[in-house]
Amino acid sequence: MRPNAEKSILLEIKDLYAGIESREILKGFNLTIREGETHALMGPNGSGKSTLANVLCGHPRAQVKSGSIIFRGENLVKLSPEERAKHGLFMAFQYPVEVTGVSLFNFLKTAYGSVKEKIDYARFGKMVRDEAEKLKMDPAFLSRYLNEGFSGGEKKKAEILQMMVLSPKIVIMDETDSGLDIDALRIVSEEINRARESFNPGILLITHYFRILKYVRPDFVHVLVDGRIAAEGGAELATKLEENGYEWVRG
């Protein structure tokens, strides 16, 4: 598929060489995401998918050696993780961390006030409860410490809840489908599709597997092998990967 030139560019990565500390993992990576586009990034273990996610969110161990990352007209590398969030970038982590002493609700309230605006407590509470209900989350989770004692699926639902409340400009989803049973996968996918309709973010959906793409149809699919894009195409490319695996791309 060809990108729609009329849509504004949200994220443009050019000739990126980056890694974790001294180990080079991404070797000339290129990607452009426009407003409202959903891109799936697939690839085998060790290909560099999570490294890219860490670079984009500003993980302290991630190092950019050369190349450029422009996010909404700004040099992303020069922005702190907090500034990236305020600028409209949201990261759904593969392994969400537990935060003892901070409830999910208070975390959301603080995050909303930091990246969006100050909001009346009662109005914010209703908004969060409504979103949690759509995710079929028990309201009791809102008063529990962030991710503490949550199952893998509950942690992923909490991440999606954050996304829906914060309505970011671009969403990076690092293997959000991992650890989800079929019912949770369907619910999470429905919310991702609702986000696409309601606030039209650019989405980078990083995944190993085809199954989430049955529910969230991407506009573009990119296959990352050994730190470089080895193949690109539309949603049909994911089907080909499901049928043939990654060896045909390597070959």
Residue 1 domain flag: no
What is the predicted pLDDT for the residue at 4?
Answer: 56
> What phi and psi values does residue 8 have, to the nearest 5 degrees?
-75, 145
Number of domains in the chain: 1
Per-residue 3-state assignment (H helix, E strand, C coil) for 120-185: CHHHHHHHHHHHHHHCCCCHHHHHCEECCCCCHHHHHHHHHHHHHHHCCCEEEEECCCCCCCHHHH
Separation between Cα atoms, residue 224 and residue 116, nearest integer Å = 34
Residue 18 domain flag: yes
Residue 149 domain flag: yes
Residue 141 domain flag: yes
Does the pLDDT of residue 113 top 70, yes or no? yes
Burial of 242 (0-12, 13-18, 19+ CB in 10 A): middle
Query: For 213-243, what is each residue's pLDDT tens digit?
Result: 999 999 999 999 999 999 999 999 999 988 8
Residue 4 domain flag: no
Average pLDDT, the chain: 92
Residue 143 domain flag: yes
Residue 3 domain flag: no
Q: Do 43 and 223 form a contact (C-beta atoms < 8 A)?
A: yes
Domain membership of residue 77 as a residue range: 9-250
Q: What percent of the chain has pLDDT over 70?
A: 98
This prediction has a pTM of 0.92
Query: For 162-193, what is each residue's pLDDT tens digit?
Result: 999 999 999 999 998 888 889 999 999 999 99
Q: What is the mean pLDDT of residues 105-124?
A: 92
Q: What is the mean pLDDT of residues 74-91?
A: 94
Q: What is the token pair recorded at 65? A: 């050696």
Q: What is the token pair recorded at 228? A: 């470089």
Does the pLDDT of residue 248 top 70, yes or no? yes
Of the chain, the end-to-end C-alpha distance in Å amounts to 23
What is the predicted pLDDT for the residue at 5?
Answer: 55
Separation between Cα atoms, residue 64 and residue 22, nearest integer Å = 10
Residue 2 domain flag: no
What pairing do the DSSP bridges indicate for beta strands 228-233 and 220-225? antiparallel
Query: For 44-58, what is each residue's pLDDT tens digit?
Result: 888 999 999 999 999
What is the predicted pLDDT for the residue at 251?
Answer: 61
CATH number of the domain residue 50 falls in: 3.40.50.300
Q: What is the token pair recorded at 120? A: 């009346």
The single residue listed with the structure tokens 């989350």 is 137
